[in-house]
Chains A and B, each alone.
Chain A
Amino acid sequence: MATLVTAVIRPHSLDAVKESLKAAGVTGMTITEVKGFGRQGGHTEVYRGAEYTVDLLPKIKLEAIVADGDVAAAVEAISTAAATGKIGDGKVWTLPVGSLLRIRTGEQGEEAV
């Protein structure tokens, strides 16, 4: 039926990822400003002479529900647009969607994607 594609990416990659997903036929998405860390770890900042570690860095979490047939294209679109080759580019993962309903029309399943 449908699949939830979730990605955590760099904030400044969002525009490129969004355009890339639209080009791949994805019609909607939800993004959240989040903080987190992976292998990148954090970095140190200095405030009034005192150093401190910022290990949770700002990231964007993007969620899009796509038809099963479009999953490979969507993942490819995200990973291409978000890649800089440096540590901290983020991750993409997918999960099957149990049920799906468009609230306004009452459409269900793949029709509601």
Chain B
Amino acid sequence: MRRKLLTGLGLVPLGVIALAAPAMAQDGEGVVTADSVQAILDNIWVLVAAILVIFMQAGFALVEAGLTRAKSVANIMMKNMMDFCVGVIAFACVGFAFAFGTGNDFIGTNGWFIGSDIAENYLSGTTLGLPTFFIFQVAFAATAATIVSGAMAERTKFLSYIIYSLLITAIVYPVVVHWTWGGGWLSQLDTPYIDFAGSGIVHMTGGVASIVGAAFLGPRIGKYGKDGKPRAIPGHSIPFAIVGVFILLIGWFGFNPGSWLAADATVVPAVAVTTVIAGAAGALSAMVFTWIKQGKPDVGMAGNGLLAGLVGVTAGTAHVNNWGACIIGLLAGVIVVLSVYFFDRVRIDDPVGAVSVHGICGAFGAICVGLFATTNGSPLGEDSIDGLFYGGGADQLVTQLIGVVSIAAFVAVCMVIVFAGLKYTIGLRVSPTEEIEGLDVHEHGSAGYGADIGHIGDDVLVGALADSEGS
């Protein structure tokens, strides 16, 4: 993603010039050149990174299932499965074209159905094949979509969630991508917007959609007592939640380092380092903060802190150095806890903290590029820029703020239309009876954790035992 921005700026790194040729490397039949090998490495690495990002879906599913109640566990698994599947088809048909097709500064208008226009225009001058690039991008689109399922857990009509998934991956997220990575207006500012792997573009988009969705739904029954105070609704499996956090961490090594969109020996590993440092710092600061504030180190919040650190560093992961990544992670870990308390108080019921992790820390991460970016020791080195804290002035910070505000505003307006539309037509929320009894049986026909007894008639079981002993 960064590469395209650099190309647009005329700051083409040496590597890119060298890489422009490999498409022709097969001219000499059977001749292996450095360029042809590099092209293969680039495609394989980005493909593997895409698979890691797709694996994050499993992490989201476990985190969300773990932090919610057992009676709706099949529903949340189904939502995680289907927002991915709906998202893949929607993004393949139109989203990918809206995002990366040529068109205007606002939206792309060609390349439908993974069309070759994108290979001929957007990908010309790179080593990436169209399939590689599509898989990587569709994984990101599905990530933006799935963030919302946790915030809207335990009370959303399944059909409405499917329609939301379709709209965010077909239109809303692709437009945000076109503005930035797709070469649209935010990438053409005098000081272009920087968001290496998408704190603002991916996570904040999902986070803002989460705020709007949770607000339109209202809190779960029982979340607020008669005194108006938020009450605890403990999740049913902390082991699920924390294994989910680990899977997300692993996926992030595709998300951030993969966003270099090429295989190399310097930027990719260095980005992996800033990524892991920020995640670890976020978990530590969230743990210490809850320890002081609540008296004990909170397991779920520490998990949220790890994810908050990762989300926070995602925008600047190639532009900040290890110290910057550490500070961003530490701050994100505290911000996420305060944000969870805050949204609890303003009656936006977010069972898993998606609004705080992805929305608030996504915005925070995008803004941090303007503060912590540095040419001194960051993965991009001299190709990075200097932010406010490194003597680079406030220009980048202003651009980052413009980016955050415009993306958040666009997503918020779109999502108000989507969720209001759903609420006043087919309905957004299940009936109180269904919510109290759990969504599993009412929405999907059977419970996520069914009993092992009572499904098969006793006469069948007794008969089977008699047969086996008789033989």
A45 at the B interface (CB under 8 A): yes
CB-based nearest B residue for A53: B232
Establish whether residues A49 and B231, one from each chain, have CB atoms under 8 Å apart when the complex forms: no
Q: Are B341 and A49 in contact (CB under 8 A)?
A: yes
B291 to chain A, nearest CB (A): 11
Q: Which 4 A-B pairs have the closest CB atoms?
A: A47-B232, A50-B232, A52-B232, A47-B234
> Among B231, B295, B296, B353, which residue has its beta carbon within 8 angstroms of that of A50?
B231
A48 touches B300 (CB 8 A): yes
Selected contact of A49 from candidates B233, B234, B340, CB within 8 Å: B340
A-B contact pairs, 9 of them (CB 8 A): A45-B232, A45-B234, A46-B294, A46-B298, A48-B300, A48-B301, A48-B344, A50-B229, A50-B232
Contacts of A45 in B (CB 8 A): 232, 234
- Is there an interface contact between B298 and A48, defined as CB atoms closer than 8 Å? yes
Interface assignment of B427: CB less than 8 Å from any CB of chain A: no
Q: Contacts of B294 on A, CB cut-off 8 Å?
A: 46, 49
CA distance A51 to B340 in the complex (A): 14
Residues of A within 8 A of B298 (CB): 46-49
Give A51 Cβ to nearest chain B Cβ, in Å: 7
The B310-361 residues at the A interface (CB cut-off 8 A) are 337, 340-341, 344, 353
Nearest CB of B to A48, in Å: 6
Residues of chain B contacted by A52 (CB below 8 angstroms): 231-232, 234
A47 to B233, CA, bound (A): 8
Nearest residue (CB) in B for A50 is B232
How many residues from A make CB contacts under 8 Å with B? Answer: 8
Chain A, range 46-67, C-beta contacts under 8 Å to B: 46-52
Chain B interface size range: 10 to 19
CA distance A52 to B225 in the complex (A): 11
- Beyond the given pairs A46-B295, A47-B232, A48-B298, 6 more chain A to chain B contacts, judged by CB atoms under 8 angstroms and listed by A's residue number, are A45-B232, A46-B232, A46-B294, A47-B234, A48-B301, A50-B344
Tell me which residues across on chain A come within 8 A of B234, comparing CB atoms.
45, 47, 52
B230 contacts chain A at the CB level, 8 A cutoff: yes
- From B304, which residue of chain A is reached at the shortest CB distance? A48
Contacts of A48 in B (CB 8 A): 232, 298, 300-301, 340, 344, 353
Query: Which of chain B's residues have a CB closer than 8 A to the CB of A46?
Result: 232, 294-296, 298
Contacts of B353 in A (CB 8 A): 48
Distance A48 CA – B68 CA, assembled complex (angstroms): 12
Q: Mark interface residues in A19-48 (1 if CB within 8 Å of B CB, else 0).
A: 000000000000000000000000001111
Compute how far the CA of A21 lies from the CA of B19 in the bound complex, rounded to whole angstroms. Answer: 78
Chain A residues lying within 8 Å of B229, measured Cβ to Cβ, are 50
User: Chain B's nearest CB lies how many Å from the CB of A81?
Assistant: 31
Chain B residue nearest to A49 (CB atoms) is B341
Contacts of A47 in B (CB 8 A): 232-234, 298, 300
| Distance, CA A45 to CA B233, complexed state (A) | 11
Q: Which residues of A contact B231 (CB under 8 A)?
A: 50, 52
* C-alpha spacing A52/B222, complex, angstroms: 13
> In the complex the two chains form, what is the Cα distance from A48 to B238 in whole Å?
12
State the CA gap A52–B230 with chains docked (Å).
Answer: 10
Q: Give the distance in Å from the alpha carbon of A46 to the alpha carbon of B337 in the complex.
A: 14
**Cβ distance B371 to chain A, nearest Cβ, rounded Å:** 28
> Using a CB-CB cutoff of 8 Å, which residues 77-96 of chain B contact chain A?
none
Q: Shortest Cβ distance from B413 into chain A, in angstroms?
A: 30
Interface of chain B residues 274 through 297 with chain A (CB within 8 A): 290, 293-296
Cα(A58)–Cα(B112), bound, Å: 58
* CA gap between A47 and B293 in the complex, in Å: 12
| A51 in complex: contacting residue of B232, B233, B293, B301, CB < 8 Å | B232
Q: How far is the CA of A86 from the CA of B232 in the complex (A)?
A: 29
The answer for the CA separation of A41 and B340 in the assembled complex, in Å, is: 30
The residue in chain A whose Cβ has the minimal distance to the Cβ of B350 is A48
A49 touches B344 (CB 8 A): yes
CB distance from B426 to the nearest CB of A (A): 31
Q: How far is the CB of B433 from chain A (nearest CB, A)?
A: 24
Q: How far is the CA of A49 from the CA of B233 in the complex (A)?
A: 11
Contacts of B293 in A (CB 8 A): 49
Alpha-carbon gap, A50 to B351, bound state (A): 12
Query: In the assembled complex, which residues on chain B have CB atoms less than 8 Å from the CB atom of A49?
Result: 230, 290, 293-294, 298, 301, 337, 340-341, 344
A45–B300 Cα distance when bound, in Å, is 13
Residues of A within 8 A of B233 (CB): 47
Chain B, 109-138, CB within 8 A of any chain A CB: none
What residue in chain A is nearest B295 (Cβ atoms)?
A46
How distant is the Cα of A49 from the Cα of B230 in the complex, in angstroms? 9
| B230 lies within 8 A of A50 (CB) | yes
Query: How far is B337's CA from A41's CA once the two chains are assembled, in angstroms?
Result: 31
Q: Shortest beta-carbon distance, A56 to chain B, in Å?
A: 14
Cβ of A51: which chain B residues have Cβ within 8 Å of it? 232
Task: Give the CA-CA distance A50 to B294 in the complex, in Å.
Answer: 9
User: A51 vs B231: C-alpha distance in the bound complex, in angstroms?
Assistant: 7
CA distance A46 to B296 in the complex (A): 8
| CA gap between A45 and B294 in the complex, in Å | 10
How far is A47 from B300 in the complex, measured between Cα atoms in Å? 8
* A13 CB to nearest chain B CB (Å): 25
